[in-house]
Each structure stands twice: as C-alpha cells, then as structure tokens.
C-alpha cells in the first residue's frame, strides 16, 4: 500500500480498497518504525479502526495524517511536550476540524521541541524522534514528529507549526516539502502559542501538490481568531526572475552544502529563470532579533505563569530561553518593531523585482553528537535563513535539493510576499520535477486577456480587482497581432500578415461582473476572442483600425511592459 501521496491512496480506494485497510496499515507501520519518541498520544487502535469505517466523504477521504502536539484535537491530550501542561481539549482546533470534515484520518499527536521553542527536535522530555533518513542526525524542529511521521511513511501528510522555521528545517532534514503559509491564512486558534503574532500552522508532505491540496482545505478565515486574515483577490504576473543573496551573505557548514545550493541556482536557470543577486542584510539583521528582544518576551508571555511559578516543569534549554523574556524592556521592544518594519519594506522592494527569493533552508544539518556539543549555537545557526520570514510577513515553501556526497540531505526554500503560495507552489513543483497544472478560471468566471494598463501593478489594474478579478497566469498571443501606443494604454489589432506574438496576462473575472467591467472601457477599444499560443481563446481587448491609424507601432517590443521599460 502506497502512502507516498494523496493520489496513490486515491488509486487504492478507486480499486476497491477501504479506509479500514489503510488504518491497519498505518498501525503496522507505527509498530515497524518502533520509535517510542514519535507519538505523544496515538489514537487507540480500536478507535482508529472505528473512525476509519465511518469517515465522511470529502477531498481527503481516508488520507492518514498526524498533528503536532501543540494543536488541539478533541479527546486527545495537548501537552506541547510538557507533561505538567497536559490537558484534554473539548473541541478540535479549526484547522483539525476542517481536515476531519474533509474525511482525513487522524492517527494521533506527535512530539516536538517543548512549547515549539527550537529548530533541532531534541528538546522534549518525551525523547527525540528519529530522523527517518539519517538516525544519527537531528530530525529538525520544532515540528520533529510531524516530519518524521511523513518521512517514515506512517502519515501521508502532517500538521506542524512555524514561527522561526519549524515548518521548514525539519522538511530539509528529512527530504520533505514544508509549506509555511502566510500569517493568518490558516487559523491558529486552538494552537498553543509560541509567538502568537508570528505563529503559522505548517504542512509536511512528500510533494508540493499534496501540501497545496491540504492548504486548500485548511485555509480560510476564522471569525474567532483575531490574527486570521483573508487572502486578497487577484495575483501577480511572473517576472521569471529569482533573487539569490549576495555571495558574501551565504554561509554553509560544509563545501558540500555550498555546492548543493550552487546546483539549485543552476537548476532554476535551466527552468528559464534569470538570477538576480540581492542584498538581504536587513533581513538577516532582523532575524537575529527574534531570539534577543521583543519576541522572546512574547514567547514568555504565552506561558508566563509557568515560567514564573513552575519553572521546574520546563526543559532546561526552554526554561533558559523563556526566563530571559522576563527581563526584556518595553522601550527596547519598539526598537525591534521599527527594525521589523524596515525589514518588511526591504522585502517589499525586493519582491517588486523578483518572483521569489531562493535560499538554503539551513547552512547544514548537524549530527546529534554535534548538537550535544554546542546546543544553543547549532540551533541559532539552523535559523540563519528562516528566522526573518514570519517577522517580515512572508510565505515560504521548503523543498528537497538533493544530497551531499556523504548522503546528508539538503534543502532550499522559496520565499515570497504574503499570499504568494500559488506562485511558490508552481516554482517549487518545477524545481523538484512535479507536473504542475496550469491555473484556470472557475466555472462562474470568464477568462480575460489584458495587454496594457489593466495588468498587475499598472494604473487601471484597480478596475479589474474592483470587479473581483484574480490573476491566473502570463499569456502570449499567437503571432498574428500588432500593438500600438495609444498614450496611456495600448491598442492591439489582429492582422492578416506581419503579426507578432504579444505578451499579456490572463485574469479571471466573475461572469456577473463582466458587463459592468466592459461598460467602463472607452472606444476605440472593444472586445473579442484573442488567440493565445497555448490554444486558449479568452476574451480580450482589441482596437478599431481607425483608432490606431498613425499611432506608433510598438509590436517589435512584444508587449506593453517592455514598451514602458524602453521609454
């Protein structure tokens, strides 16, 4: 039975297999892996089989998953890897409730760095989950058990959390996909806070497609969560540019780690991306503040009573970190907040020029022995490229990047602005060689091909957005059109001879909004079906021949953006 993907289990079910058989196989795999540090509380075998026999229909019907034990599951203890903190919640966290309603099969709660404080996976009184690929190396944290359960083939996907990299470092450590959504996109109500203003629920899976499908189930606003946000409409076009840090800003543990990152850059170039070197010094600087200032105090505030009155119940390293938060000054916190605002501005400017920032997920993966020799320093180094992401309100997708010559896995992370998950998924899928479906309008939407000022970031794009438009993808016409400069906008003609291909953007606009939108378009522009090189024929802007007579012909530049850049 294949637990490597959602699609593989769907094939099993289509052939007559049952969720009960999948549940039995999961129990067998848990026993075979034989790691007492993996589960903190597993669903009892009898209960699991009973659940499997009565799963609701849904997009994740019969797909087994596990949950990091700082996320509430009704009837199972929530410990956050602190036995004295253990309590049994009466209801599921919204993120769990959404998965169960979609038919997913919960196997249990798995281990973590206590109170999600750490990137190593060893700070738990319940022991250290085994790295399923390299038992002598750390599993990564704080979502250690979430990564191990998927890498070991016990669960098809899992939920972790991510505040400083906890959904990305374990993915790199065990050759998984780690999806860290935008802040607030997935509700965090029912999650034991680490830094509540920065916390995200993350997803581990073997493929970008699976992680993205799970995200589609769990994302969405929660009216009871003050940090919940709704993704804005629209999207952004591809610039086919990938940002990479300046060479002097990259640090690695070994030459092998450096070589793998160079290979990742080359892979992006093979896929057609142009590489731009960018300065990430402000991002690295604010990352160092995460464990030095205001956000340490925020961690402490989450369990302040325990830190002050029951410190003996905490793991020694966790205790040392959280006790440090008690002495932080409010006056210093504002310095941290201002630095974070400056870093967010730097990131905004960076992503105005690039689709994504390509980073090593970490400088290198330490062995358990190396970590024991320098526990604090090794943990800090693991967060070199992860700690700033949530502080700067960014989305991130970690994917595998091959192995060093000694067999140690490496990973890279694609980072983008908030709510860029779809763009990062397409890039990440291409990087690892997954076939990625082209976005398409929904049944109640009309495809609209924009060639000028209505494109993303240009002066009339607000009209498309106001009518509910959302960006689908860049597109290019067949070579039978000419483009003219009409001043504030272009005009495009279809011609019998001498045509060229014109670059534009495909947007989806609600069918009910199409008429009001078209009413805003002045003559001599009209609408017709535009022929694109991929064979599709969306509606698009076309000019009357009399309206462009005598105007500059800018066809040779291939598009309005190129014309604006050449002015």
| Enzyme catalytic residues | 68, 142, 166
How many residues in total does the chain contain? Answer: 567
**Cα-to-chain-centroid distance, residue 82:** 28
- Name the residue among 420, 496, 495, 481 with its Cα closest to residue 451: 481
Indicate if the alpha-carbon torsion angle 27, 97, 187, 231 is positive or negative.
positive
CA distance 217 to 288: 34
**Please, is 31 exposed, middle or buried when counting C-beta atoms within 10 Å of its C-beta (0-12, 13-18, 19+)?**
exposed
Q: What is the DSSP letter of 455?
A: S
CA distance 185 to 418: 9
CA distance 101 to 464: 34
CA distance 437 to 31: 37
- Name the residue among 484, 483, 479 with its Cα closest to residue 500: 479
CA distance 185 to 220: 6
Strand (E) or helix (H) holding 391: helix 387-391
Strands 356-360 and 470-476: unpaired
């Amino acid at each position: 039975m294949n637990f490597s993907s959602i699609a593989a289990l769907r094939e099993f079910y289509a052939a007559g297999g049952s969720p009960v058989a999948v549940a039995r196989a999961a129990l067998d795999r848990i026993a075979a892996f034989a790691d007492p540090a993996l589960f903190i509380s597993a669903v009892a075998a009898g209960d699991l089989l009973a659940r499997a026999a009565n799963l609701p229909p849904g997009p994740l019907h019969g797909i087994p998953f596990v949950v990091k034990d700082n996320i509430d599951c009704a009837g199972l203890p929530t410990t956050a890897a602190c036995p004295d903190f253990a309590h049994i919640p009466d209801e599921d966290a919204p993120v769990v409730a959404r998965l169960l309603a979609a038919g997913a099969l919960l196997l249990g709660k798995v281990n973590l760095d206590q109170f999600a404080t750490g990137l190593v996976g060893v700070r738990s009184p319940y022991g250290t989950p085994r790295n399923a690929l390299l038992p002598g190396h750390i599993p990564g944290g704080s979502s250690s058990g979430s990564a191990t359960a998927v890498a070991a083939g016990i669960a098809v996907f899992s939920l972790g959390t991510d505040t400083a990299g906890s959904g990305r470092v374990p993915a790199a450590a065990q050759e998984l996909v780690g999806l860290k959504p935008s802040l607030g996109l997935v509700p965090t109500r029912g999650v034991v806070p680490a830094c509540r203003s920065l916390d995200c629920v993350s997803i581990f899976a073997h493929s970008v497609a699976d992680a993205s499908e799970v995200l589609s189930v769990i994302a969405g606003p929660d009216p009871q969560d003050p940090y919940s946000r709704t993704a804005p409409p629209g999207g952004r076009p591809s610039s086919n540019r990938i940002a990479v840090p300046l060479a002097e800003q990259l640090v690695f543990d070994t030459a092998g780690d450096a070589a793998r990152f160079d290979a990742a850059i080359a892979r992006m170039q093979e896929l057609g991306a142009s590489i731009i070197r960018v300065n990430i010094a402000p991002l690295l600087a604010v990352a160092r503040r995460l464990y030095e200032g205001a956000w340490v105090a925020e961690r402490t505030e989450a369990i302040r009573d325990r830190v002050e009155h029951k410190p003996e119940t905490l793991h020694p390293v966790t205790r040392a970190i959280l006790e440090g938060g008690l002495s932080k000054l409010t006056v210093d916190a504002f310095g941290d907040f201002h630095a974070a605002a400056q870093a967010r501005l730097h990131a905004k400017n960076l992503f105005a020029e690039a689709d994504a920032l390509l980073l090593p997920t970490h400088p290198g993966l330490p062995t358990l022995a190396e970590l024991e020799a320098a526990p604090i320093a090794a943990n800090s180094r693991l967060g070199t490229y992860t700690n700033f992401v949530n502080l700067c309100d960014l989305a991130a997708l970690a994917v595998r990047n091959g192995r060093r010559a000694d067999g140690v896995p490496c990973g890279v992370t694609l980072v983008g602005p908030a709510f860029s998950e779809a763009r990062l998924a397409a890039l990440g899928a291409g990087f690892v060689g997954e076939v990625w479906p082209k976005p398409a309008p929904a049944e109640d939407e009309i495809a609209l091909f924009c060639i000028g000022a209505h494109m993303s970031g240009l002066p009339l794009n607000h009209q498309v957005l106001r009518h509910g438009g959302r960006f689908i993808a860049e597109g290019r016409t067949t070579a039978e059109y000419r483009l003219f400069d009409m001043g504030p906008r272009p005009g495009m003609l279809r011609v019998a001879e001498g045509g060229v291909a014109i670059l534009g953007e495909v947007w989806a606009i609600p069918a009910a909004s199409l008429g009001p939108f078209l009413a805003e378009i002045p003559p001599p522009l009209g609408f017709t079906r535009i022929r694109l090189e991929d064979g599709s024929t969306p509606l698009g802007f076309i000019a009357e021949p009399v309206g462009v007579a005598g105007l500059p012909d800018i066809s040779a530049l291939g598009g309005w953006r190129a014309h604006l850049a050449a002015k």
